[in-house]
Amino acid sequence: MSKSKKLAFVSKECVACGSCVKVCPTGAITIYQGMYAAVNPNRCVGCGKCARACPASVISVLPRGGDEVA
């Protein structure tokens, strides 16, 4: 799978509701310890479905770069 130019980023305010996991077409988002979501940058295609589904608006889709969005 080729990497897109964008990547989803979940802020620390995530409440792990799972809405993003349900809509991610590539399975790039995982809920850890029932406390927060994390994005696998190797699977994320930057489509933004997770950000639109997040009821807390804590997911951003940003330009894929270096360590700042990893």
Return the pLDDT at 69.
39
Report whether pLDDT(2) > 90.
no
Span 11-60, pLDDT tens digits: 999 999 999 999 999 999 999 999 999 999 999 999 999 999 999 999 99
CATH number at residue 58: 3.30.70.20
Look up the domain containing 56 and give its range: 6-64
Span 38-51, pLDDT tens digits: 999 999 999 999 99
Residue 52 forms part of a structural domain: yes
Residue 69 forms part of a structural domain: no
Residue 70 forms part of a structural domain: no
Report whether pLDDT(65) > 90.
no
Residue whose token pair is 């809509």: 23
- The string of DSSP codes covering the chain is ----SEEEEE-TT----SHHHHH-TT--EEEETTTEEEE-TTT-----HHHHH-TT--EEEEE--SGGG-
Return the pLDDT at 68.
44
Number of separate domains in the chain: 1
